[in-house]
């Protein structure tokens, strides 16, 4: 697993540098330099999953608060790069980010445990996991995650926080002990408007964590490595 560490650092550095590149206006009034790359399915199963993701994006985005596609791709890359076997997601909604995790977990042989409090969105998520063919990799836990996360006992490779923003600190306090050394805590909506300053302080003042903020010109993602 040690050999994966440089890969993760490279991935994060690339994400950070691409976002700063796209934000810069080169001299001479030329348009900003930016490169884009679409996700190319490597097999039929991946094609089917990407089609479901595209459908959710097109038809279920309203009221779902799902992450943007670019952020879903970042989640997939991080998960696959660290060889995650167990992802914990707080905030399932209709399953969009969960399916991005599953794209990675197909390759790592892993699984995702995902938590939500809303019955309507949870029912939609269940349907979406099924039609993407990833339901066997997913455990859904219904209820207030501040209570239900207490049932978690297994080590976590990647913890994704994307529910009530003022609850991030409580989730971190409860679940960081389960995150394995070399694992990641990824927090969505780290923009100044939405981020809870108490959470930002916790992840930037703990010497056991190496924290980066990426995609700050859009939704903002905090990525904290739990050092080995
Ligand atoms: C931003 S959405 C999650 C989006 C999802 N991660 C995605 O990108 O597809 C936040 C979700 O957190 C859920 N939520 C809010 N507070 C919660 C709590 N205390 N316990 C569990 N889920 C909660 C909401 O019901 C909502 O579905």
* Average pLDDT of every residue of the chain: 90
* Residue 74 CB contacts under 8 Å (≥ 6 apart), including other chains: 15, 214, 215, 221
pLDDT at site 59: 96
- Judged against a pLDDT cut of 70, whether residue 71 lies above it is answered with yes
- Judged against a pLDDT cut of 50, whether residue 211 lies above it is answered with yes
- pLDDT tens for residues 143-185? 999 999 999 999 999 999 999 999 999 999 999 999 999 999 9
Superfamily the domain 4-226 falls into: Vaccinia Virus protein VP39 (3.40.50.150)
The Cα 128–Cα 213 span in angstroms is 30
pLDDT at site 28: 60
CA of 167 to the centre of ligand 1 (A): 11
Query: What percent of the chain stands above pLDDT 90?
Result: 82
- pLDDT tens for residues 14-53? 444 344 334 445 556 677 677 889 999 999 999 999 999 9
- Ligand 1 site: residues with CB under 6 angstroms? 65-67, 91, 93, 96-97, 115-118, 121, 144-146, 162-164, 167
The Cα 77–Cα 12 span in angstroms is 10
């Amino acid at each position: 697993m040690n050999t994966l560490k440089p890969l993760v650092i490279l991935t994060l550095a690339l994400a950070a540098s691409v976002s700063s590149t796209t934000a810069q206006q080169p001299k001479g009034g030329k348009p900003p330099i930016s490169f884009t790359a679409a996700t190319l399915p490597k097999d039929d199963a991946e094609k089917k999953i990407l089609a479901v993701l595209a459908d959710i994006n097109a038809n279920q985005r309203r009221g779902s608060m799902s992450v943007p596609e670019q952020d879903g791709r970042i989640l997939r890359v991080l998960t696959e790069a660290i060889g995650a076997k167990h992802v914990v997601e707080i905030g399932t909604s209709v399953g969009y980010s969960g399916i991005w995790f599953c794209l990675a977990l197909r390759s790592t042989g892993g699984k995702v445990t995902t938590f939500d409090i809303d019955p309507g969105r949870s029912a939609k998520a269940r349907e979406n996991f099924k039609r993407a063919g990833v339901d066997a990799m997913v455990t859904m836990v219904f209820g207030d995650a501040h209570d239900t996360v207490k049932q978690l006992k297994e080590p976590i490779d990647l913890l994704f926080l994307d529910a009530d923003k003022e609850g991030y600190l409580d989730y971190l306090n409860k679940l960081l002990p389960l995150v394995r050394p070399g694992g990641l805590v990824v927090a969505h909506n780290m923009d100044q408007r939405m981020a809870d300053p108490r959470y930002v302080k916790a992840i930037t003042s703990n010497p056991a964590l190496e924290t980066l903020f990426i995609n700050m010109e859009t939704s903002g993602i905090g990525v904290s490595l739990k050092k080995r």
